[in-house]
Amino acid sequence: MSEHPREAQMEGKRPGGASLLPWIAALAGRVGHFRRELLGADSWAPAARVGVELDRALAALEVPPTVPALVVMLGGTGVGKSELFNALIDTPGASPSSDTVRCHTSQPFLAIHPLDRAHLPGLPGLEPVLVEGGVPRGVVLADTPDIDGMIERHHGVTRQVLERADLVLFVTDPDRRANLQVLEELRRWAPRKRWLFVLTKADRYPGTIDSIALDFGKRLAETGFTVDRGSLFVVASVRPGDAGIERLRQSVLRPGDENRMPLLRQDAFLRQSAHALAAPLLQPFQEESGRLRALAQQGQARQEQAYWQALSQPRAADAFARVVKQAAWKELGERSGPFLFPAVWARARMQPLATGWALSRGLRGGALGVAGALGASALWALRGLSPLRHIAEALGEGFQDTLAAVEHDARRTLEDAGLDRIGIAEKTANSDEKKEMPAGLGAAVEGFLKHWTLSDLRPELLARVEADVDAAGRESARLATSGPGGWGILVAGNLLVAGMVGWVAWRLGKSWWLDTDLHTSFFLKAAALTVLSFLPGLLLLGWRVTAQVNPRRLRGLMGKGAPALAGGQLEKVQVALEGWFRQGGDIGKSLEEAQRLLSADLGPDATWGTSLPAQSAQSAAQARKAQPSGISRVNSIAPASQPASRG
Amino acid sequence: MKLDSFLNATDRLATLVPELLDLLGEKEKTPTGWQALLERAGALRLQGGKLSLVATLYGPTGAGKSTLFRNLTGIEVPAGDEIRPLSRGCAMAVPEQWDLPERGPALRSVLPGFDLRPLDRPDRLRQEDGQGLVWYRSADRLGGESRGGAGPGAPGLFLVDVPDFNSLEIANHERAERVLRRAEVVVFVVTGDSYADQKVVEELARCCQVAARLVILITKVSSPEKARLKWTDLLDDKLTRTDLPWRAKFQGKREDGRTLEQFLRECPVHAWPLAANPGLEDLRPVTAGAPPLASLLLGLDAEKVAAEGLLQAGASTSEWVGQLANRAEVARKERQRWRAALDEDLARAGLAVAGHEFPIGRTLEVLMEESRAGQNRVFRWITYPFSRISGWLQGGFQAMTEAIRSAISKPGSGGELVRLEEAERKSLKRVAEELADKWRDRLPAWVGALDSARCRQACDALATATLPSPKTNWEETLRQSAREWVEKNPTWAHTLPVVLDLTTVGGLGLFVLDIGTTGGLLGSHVVLGSLGAGGLVAGGAGLAAMLLRLADKMHFQGVLEEADRAWREQRGREIADHLRQHLLPGLLGEKLREADRLTSFPMEELRRLAAELTRKANGES
DSSP string for B47-88:
TTT-PPEEEEEE--TTS-HHHHHHHHH-------SSSSS---
pLDDT at position B547, please? 63
pLDDT at position A372, please? 64
pLDDT in tens, A320-332: 888 888 888 888 8
A177 touches B: beta carbon within 8 Å: yes
For A139-176, give one letter per residue: b (16+ CB within 10 A) or e.
bbbbbbbbbbbbbeebbebbbbbbbbbbbbbbbbbbbb
Whether B189 and B63 have beta carbons less than 8 Å apart is answered as yes
Cα gap A545→A547, rounded to integer Å: 5
> Of B179, B159, B171, B195, which is closest to residue B69 (Cα–Cα)?
B159
Three-class DSSP labels, B403-462: HHHHHHCCCCCCHHHHHHHHHHHHHHHHHHHHHHHHHHHCCCHHHCCCCHHHHHHHHHHH
pLDDT in tens, B466-503: 988 887 777 777 777 778 777 887 777 777 667 766 67
Cα gap B593→B70, rounded to integer Å: 55
Q: Phi and psi at residue A509, in whole multiples of 5°?
A: -65, -40
Give the C-alpha distances (Å, rounded to integers) separating A158 from A70, A82, A264: 13, 13, 21
Lowest mean pLDDT among A6-10, A73-77, A344-348: A6-10
> Of A273, A257, A325, which is closest to residue A473 (Cα–Cα)?
A325
Q: Phi and psi at residue A279, in whole multiples of 5°?
A: -55, -45
A631 touches B: beta carbon within 8 Å: yes
pLDDT at position A365, please? 55
Three-class DSSP labels, A494-510: HHHHHHHHHHHHHHHHH
- Bridge partner list, B219: B191, B272
B222 touches A: beta carbon within 8 Å: yes
Q: Is B259 helix (H, G, I), strand (E, B) or coil?
A: strand
**Segments of chain B with pLDDT less than 50:** 1, 149, 151-152, 408-414, 617, 621
pLDDT at A606 over 50: no
Residue A482, judged by CB atoms within 10 A of its CB (0-12, 13-18, 19+), counts as middle
Contacts of B455 in chain A (CB under 8 A): 408-409, 412
Contacts with B464 (C-beta within 8 Å, 6 or more apart), sequence order:
none
Nearest CA-CA distance, residue A182 and chain B, Å: 10
pLDDT at position B544, please? 59
Whether A84 and A237 have beta carbons less than 8 Å apart is answered as yes
For helices A279-311 and A568-602, angle between their N-to-C axes, nearest 10 degrees: 160
Cα gap A87→A246, rounded to integer Å: 9
Residue of A nearest to B232 (CA): A101
pLDDT at position A519, please? 86
Q: Phi and psi at residue A454, in whole multiples of 5°?
A: -120, 10
Which one of B32, B173, B408 has the shortest CB-CB distance to A647?
A: B32
Contacts with B543 (C-beta within 8 Å, 6 or more apart), sequence order:
none
pLDDT at position A3, please? 45
pLDDT at position B215, please? 95
Q: How many CB atoms lie within 10 A of CB A270?
A: 29
Please identify among residues 298-327 of chain B the ones whose CB lies closer than 8 Å to any CB of chain A. none
Nearest CA-CA distance, residue A108 and chain B, Å: 19
pLDDT at position B109, please? 85
> Of A176, A143, A179, A178, which is closest to residue A158 (Cα–Cα)?
A143
Q: Is B134 helix (H, G, I), strand (E, B) or coil?
A: strand
pLDDT at position A369, please? 64
Cα gap A578→A562, rounded to integer Å: 23
Cα gap A337→A486, rounded to integer Å: 12
| DSSP assignment letter at B471 | P
Residue of A nearest to B407 (CA): A315
Residue of B nearest to A397 (CA): B426
Q: Is B133 helix (H, G, I), strand (E, B) or coil?
A: strand
Cα gap B566→B555, rounded to integer Å: 18
Extract the runs of DSSP E, i.e. beta strands, from B238-322.
Answer: 269-273, 284-285
Q: Which domains does chain B have, with CATH numbers?
A: 31-300 (3.40.50), 330-603 (no CATH)
pLDDT at position B83, please? 72
Long-range contact pairs involving A309-312 (C-beta distance under 8 Å, separation at least 24): A309/A399, A310/A395, A310/A396, A310/A398, A310/A399, A311/A395, A311/A554, A311/A555
- Bridge partner list, B158: B54
Please identify among residues 78-97 of chain A the ones whose CB lies closer than 8 Å to any CB of chain B. 78-79
Whether B583 and B454 have beta carbons less than 8 Å apart is answered as no
Q: For residues B344 and A603, which has the higher predicted lDDT (pLDDT)? A: B344
Give the C-alpha distances (Å, rounded to integers) separating B308 from B43, B158, B311: 14, 17, 5
Q: For residues A7 and A77, which has the higher predicted lDDT (pLDDT)? A: A77
Cα gap A358→A294, rounded to integer Å: 39
Contacts of A211 in chain B (CB under 8 A): 82-83
> Of B500, B408, B421, B526, which is closest to residue B463 (Cα–Cα)?
B421
Contacts with A399 (C-beta within 8 Å, 6 or more apart), sequence order:
A306, A307, A309, A310
Which one of A78, A416, A627 has the shortest CB-CB distance to B194?
A: A78
Whether B56 and B162 have beta carbons less than 8 Å apart is answered as yes
Nearest CA-CA distance, residue A345 and chain B, Å: 34
pLDDT at A266 over 90: no
Cα gap A148→A185, rounded to integer Å: 9
pLDDT in tens, A81-92: 999 999 999 988
B199 touches A: beta carbon within 8 Å: yes
Nearest CA-CA distance, residue A455 and chain B, Å: 20
The predicted model gives A184-198 an average pLDDT of 87
CA A584 and chain centroid, separation: 8
pLDDT in tens, A455-511: 677 777 888 888 888 888 888 889 888 899 889 999 999 999 999 999 999 999 999
CA A615 and chain centroid, separation: 23
Residue A432, judged by CB atoms within 10 A of its CB (0-12, 13-18, 19+), counts as exposed
Q: Phi and psi at residue A235, in whole multiples of 5°?
A: -130, 160
Contact check, Cβ <8 Å, B226/A180: no
Which one of A99, A219, A408 has the shortest CB-CB distance to B168?
A: A219
pLDDT at position B229, please? 93
Q: How many CB atoms lie within 10 A of CB A31?
A: 26
Which one of A149, A173, A181 has the shortest CB-CB distance to B166?
A: A181
Give the C-alpha distances (Å, rounded to integers) separating A175 from A179, A182, B87: 8, 12, 14
Residue B458, judged by CB atoms within 10 A of its CB (0-12, 13-18, 19+), counts as buried
Contacts of A412 in chain B (CB under 8 A): 436-437, 440, 451-452, 455
* pTM for this model (two decimals): 0.74
Q: Is the peptide bond before A65 cis (omega within 30 degrees of 0)?
A: no
Contacts of B246 in chain A (CB under 8 A): 150
Task: Tell me which H or E stretch contains B160.
Answer: strand B157-161
Cα gap A171→A179, rounded to integer Å: 12
Whether A315 and A394 have beta carbons less than 8 Å apart is answered as yes
Nearest CA-CA distance, residue A328 and chain B, Å: 27
Cα gap B453→B459, rounded to integer Å: 10
Which one of B31, B60, B246 has the shortest CB-CB distance to A150?
A: B246
Contacts with A572 (C-beta within 8 Å, 6 or more apart), sequence order:
A424, A426, A427, A428
Nearest CA-CA distance, residue A595 and chain B, Å: 31
Whether B81 and B44 have beta carbons less than 8 Å apart is answered as no
CA angle, residues A245, A247, A250, in degrees to nearest 5: 110
Q: Is B174 helix (H, G, I), strand (E, B) or coil?
A: helix
pLDDT at A624 over 70: no
pLDDT at position A559, please? 66
Please identify among residues 303-342 of chain A the ones whose CB lies closer than 8 Å to any CB of chain B. 315
Q: How confident is the model at residue A628 (pLDDT cuts 50, 70, 90)?
A: very low
